[in-house]
Amino acid sequence: MDRIKPDAARLGALIVLVSLGALGSAAVGGAPAFAAGADVGTGTGTGGSTGGSATLGRAGAVRNARANVQVLGVADYLLSVGNLDRSVAFYRNVIGLPLLRAPGRAVADPLEQSLTDTPGARFRSAAFANPAVGPALVIEEFTGINRRTLRPRAVDPGAATVQIAVRDLAPVLAAAARAGIPIVTRGGRALPMDRYGTQAIVLRDPDGFYVRLSQPSAVAARSASALAPDTATAGFGTGNVLGLRVQYTVAATAAIVRFYHGVLGLRVRAGAFTRDGSVSALFDVPGAQRALTETAPVDNGATSGSGGATAGSGGATASPGSTAVSSSSAAVDTADAGAVLQFAAFRGVSRRTYGGRPQDTGTPAVALRVKDLTSALRAVRASGTIIVSAGGQPVPTGRGGATVLVRDSAGLLVQLIQDPDRSLR
C-alpha cells in the first residue's frame, strides 16, 4: 500500500500534546500510565495462552522471534475508497485537511499488486498531511479488480473512525451541510465533551468511514499556544485542522494483546468497558458500552514528533522479556501522544464483523515502520498470523527496504515497512 516518506512535511511537534488530546471525550477517572503487567503467552495475563505444550511452544517461539522486532511508529493511516476524487474533495474541501500528495493516474504497479495480492489491479492514491506531526492519512482506490463495498457501523469490528481536531467546527459543519454529508450524532449538533467547553460531532464520509470532529476547549487552545507560540508559522499550523488520528474497532481486547504485544512487542494499555452517554449519543448507539485499548513502544520516555518513537520517527527497542498489559477500571478516552495505535471494542449493542480485502471500499489499514522486517516476519510466521502479500513473502522496495501486508489477530490489515538504507545507491 502506498505510503508517505517519514521526512515529508510533518511539523509542529509540541501542539500534538494538546490538539490530539482533545480528540476524545473527557477521560473518566485517571487514565493510567503504561505499566508492567502479566506477560502475554504465559497464561497468566490478559489474552494469555492456556492451551498445553503446543501452544506454549508457539508462544516461546514468538517471544524468541520478536527479540529484534523494533516498531519505530506509525507510517500512515490507510483507507480504501470507491472514488478517489470524491474522497479527496471531501477531506480537502469539507474537512480542510492539507493535501500532501494529489491523486495521480491509475497504474498497474507490480509492487502494489504483490504487496496486496491483487493481480491485474490498477491503483491510485492521495495523501493528506497531519498538522500534528503524526502519520499521514492516505486514501487509496483499486480498479480493474473485483471489489466489494463495506459500510460497517462504528461499533462493528472492522470499522474505523477518523478523529480530527479543529480550531473551529463551524466552517467544517457549514461545508458538510453544503455537500450533503450525513451527520451521525443524535440531534445533528455538536455535543459538549467536558466541563471546559470541548465539543465533538460525528459525520460519515462518502465511503462510510466515520469522522469524529472535535473542537478543543479554550483552555486547551491556550495551553497549545503557551507550549508552542510559534506553531502558527510552522508547516500547516495556520489551517483550521490541528491534528488527526484513526481509531480502529475490534471485537475484543485480547486480540490486540495477542498481536501487538505478543508478536510486535509493544506495550498495551487496556481500559474496562464503561457506559458513556456522550459516546452513545455521538455515534447514535443507545446502550453501547465501550472499552479503549492503546499500544505504545516499550520505552515510554519517547514522545511523538521528529525525535520520538511514535507517529513520525525515532525508536524504542522491545525486548523479549518485556511485560505489557496494564488495565484500568476507567475508560481511556483521551488520545495519548505517546501511543502508537488506539482500538475500541463495544458491547451491549448488536455487532457484525467485517474483514475487507485491500481493494474493498470501506476497508481500513495501518502502516507501521519496523527496524528489522526479517525479525518481524519471523515473529509473524511463528504466531500463525495471516500474511496477505502474494506468496506470503515481503516485497523489496530497493536499497535494502522491504514491505509486507499482514492481517492482525483482530482482522485489521497491517503493512509492515522497513525503510530503505539511504546510504546505499
Per cent of the chain over pLDDT 70 is 68
Provide the residue count of the chain.
425
Is pLDDT of 220 > 70? no
Report DSSP letters for 248-301, one per residue.
Answer: EEES-HHHHIIIIITTT--EEEEEPPB--HHHHHHHT-TT-EEEEEEEE-S-TT
What's the confidence (pLDDT) of residue 222? 60
Name residues whose C-beta falls within 8 Å of residue 132's C-beta, 6 or more positions apart in sequence: 12, 15, 16, 19, 20, 165, 242, 243, 244, 304
Please determine, for residue 224, whether its predicted confidence score (pLDDT) is greater than 50: yes
User: How far is it, in rounded angstroms, from Cα 79 to Cα 361?
Assistant: 8
In this predicted structure, what is the pLDDT of residue 327?
Answer: 41
pLDDT digits (tens, 9 = 90+) for 324-356: 444 433 323 334 444 579 999 999 999 999 999
236: cell is 500547516
The CA distances from residue 53 to 45, 57, 127, 131, in Å, are 17, 6, 47, 49
- 43 pLDDT higher than 60: no
Q: Bigger pLDDT: 172 or 309?
A: 172
C-alpha cell at 243: 491534528
The tens digit of pLDDT for each residue in 100-124 reads 999 999 999 999 999 999 999 999 9
Pairing of strands 99-101, 160-166: unpaired
pLDDT band at 421 (very low <50, low <70, confident <90, very high): confident
SS3 content of the chain, % helix, strand, coil (to 5): 25, 25, 50
pLDDT at residue 276, rounded to an integer: 86
Instruction: Give the DSSP letter of residue 394.
Output: -
Mean of per-residue pLDDT scores for the chain: 78
In tens, the pLDDT along 170-217 reads 999 999 999 999 999 999 999 998 888 899 999 999 999 999 999 998
pLDDT at 196 (0 to 100): 85
pLDDT in tens, 45-88: 333 333 344 444 555 556 655 556 789 999 999 999 999 999 99
Higher pLDDT, 258 or 66: 258
* 32: its cell numbers: 493510567
